[in-house]
């Protein structure tokens, strides 16, 4: 005889997975937001505070969050992805790209910690 019990069998697994996923995504987004601000604090030579104030965390969907500069017109130039970067010596800071790599490296550890502590 096989005894079945637990979230997979009683129908609560899906809500649990959703809660764990949302908690992990939010924790990563909060960390990434702080990391973007930290890196900007290191690389910006004459910060006015405007660009940093435009960096925000936005929920795109239930389990997807985006961190953007809110469409600041010179944002692509600062990142290094503007056509202007080809025409000038300034190649950009690559802040968002560098933080993206760090988030990807941190994701497994973050989700493992959430599961280890029992979720939220």
Would you state the structure tokens that stand for residue 10, as one six-digit string? 């009683």
DSSP assignments along 47-100, one per residue? --SHHHHH-EEEEEETTEEEEE-TT-TTHHHHHT-SHHHHHSS-----HHHHHH
10-residue averages of pLDDT along the chain (120 residues):
60 77 89 96 94 93 86 96 94 95 93 80
pTM above 0.95, yes or no: no
What is the spatial distance between Cα 25 and Cα 111, in angstroms, rounded to a whole number? 8
What pLDDT, on a 0 to 100 scale, did the predictor assign at position 32?
Answer: 95
């Amino acid at each position: 005889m096989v005894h079945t019990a637990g979230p997979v069998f009683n129908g609560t697994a899906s809500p649990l997975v959703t809660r764990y996923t949302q908690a992990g995504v939010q924790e990563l987004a909060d960390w990434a937001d702080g990391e973007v601000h930290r890196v900007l604090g290191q690389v910006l030579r004459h910060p006015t505070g405007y660009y940093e104030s435009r960096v925000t965390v936005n929920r795109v969907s239930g389990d997807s969050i985006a961190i953007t500069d809110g469409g600041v017109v010179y944002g692509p130039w600062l990142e290094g992805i503007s056509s202007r970067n080809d025409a000038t010596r300034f190649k950009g800071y690559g802040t968002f790209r560098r933080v993206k790599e760090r988030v990807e490296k941190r994701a497994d550890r973050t989700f493992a910690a959430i599961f280890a502590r029992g979720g939220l």
